[in-house]
A and B are shown apart, each in its own frame.
Chain A
Amino acid sequence: GEDVEQSLFLSVREGDSSVINCTYTDSSSTYLYWYKQEPGAGLQLLTYIFSNMDMKQDQRLTVLLNKKDKHLSLRIADTQTGDSAIYFCAERDTGRRALTFGSGTRLQVQP
């Protein structure tokens, strides 16, 4: 079955770039997503990338996809304290509508 893995924790200083990594096993994944969860809140969709793309940029966010290695990353430029949250990688394959989520990476931004 599908498996999505992320590192559990990342700490950066305010103003630095953050890079959150994700690996997945399902070669038939069509869309890959990044969600953000702040304490006590639901999941907020940040961005997504289609599997035939290598990169997508949206303001401070850059998503890189290496389909050969099944590796996805989210880069946050000029990280701010408000970016402190848990970031979830998720994938959807062609045969299933539901998303498979990673365990989430907790990003801590030091002032």
Chain B
Amino acid sequence: DAGVIQSPRHEVTEMGQEVTLRCKPISGHNSLFWYRQTMMRGLELLIYFNNNVPIDDSGMPEDRFSAKMPNASFSTLKIQPSEPRDSAVYFCASSLDRGRETQYFGPGTRLLVL
């Protein structure tokens, strides 16, 4: 199994630009999570999906952030417009909802907004 795949691995953009982060969960997993990691706030949940439906988006910072999961094998996190304070590592994780909730993380996307 290839594990959770994220792209791009690194993204450098200018303030005001749109950024799209992509995630492919592990095949067969039915839950997908987006986390953000910063030095100041550590790891924070942004949103999670179960069976492609957004369940909890209370961690999404503001309207500039949006996430979609059009099918079981793909999800996007979009920031529009981006700001320097969005600079962070964004992780995608997936799991199979079976009680134990073992989440498997992707390698992350390192975003730098100038």
Q: Which residues of A contact B (CB under 8 A)?
A: 31, 33, 35, 41-45, 48, 50, 88, 92, 96-104
Number of interface residues of B (CB under 8 A): 23
Q: Is the CB of A97 within 8 A of B56?
A: yes
**Given A48-B100, A97-B31, A97-B101 in contact, is the A104-B106 Cβ separation under 8 Å?**
no
Q: Is the interface of A mostly helix, strand, loop or mixed?
A: strand
Report the minimal beta-carbon distance from B83 to chain A, rounded to whole angstroms. 24
Q: CB distance B105 to A42 under 8 Å?
A: yes
A101→B24 CA distance, assembly (Å): 23
Name the A residues within 8 Å of B93 (CB-CB).
Answer: 43
Chain B residues packing against A (C-beta within 8 Å): 4, 31, 33, 42-43, 45, 48, 50, 55-56, 59, 91, 93, 97, 100-108
B48 and A48 contacting across the interface, CB-CB below 8 Å: no
B102 close to A98 (CB less than 8 A): no
Q: When A97-B50, A97-B97, A99-B45 are in contact, do A42 and B106 touch as well, CB less than 8 Å?
A: yes
- Does B48 lie within 8 Å of A97, measured CB to CB? yes
* Bound Cα distance from A22 to B106, whole angstroms: 24
A-B contact count (CB 8 A): 49
A-B contact pairs, 8 of them (CB 8 A): A31-B100, A43-B105, A97-B50, A97-B55, A97-B97, A98-B48, A99-B45, A101-B43
Q: Which residues of A contact B91 (CB under 8 A)?
A: 42-43
B97 to chain A: which residues have CB within 8 Å? 97
CB pair B102–A41 under 8 Å, yes or no, is: no
B101 touches A104 (CB 8 A): no
> Which A residues lie within 8 Å of B59 (CB)?
98
Chain A residues, Cβ within 8 Å of B105: 35, 42-45
> Quick check: A42 and B102 within 8 Å, CB to CB?
no
- Give every chain B residue within 8 A of A102 (Cβ-Cβ): 42
Can you name the residue of chain A whose Cβ is closest to the Cβ of B59?
A98
With A43-B105, A45-B104 as contacts: A98 and B43 at CB distance below 8 Å: no
Which listed residue (B31, B42, B56) contacts A104, Cβ 8 A? B42
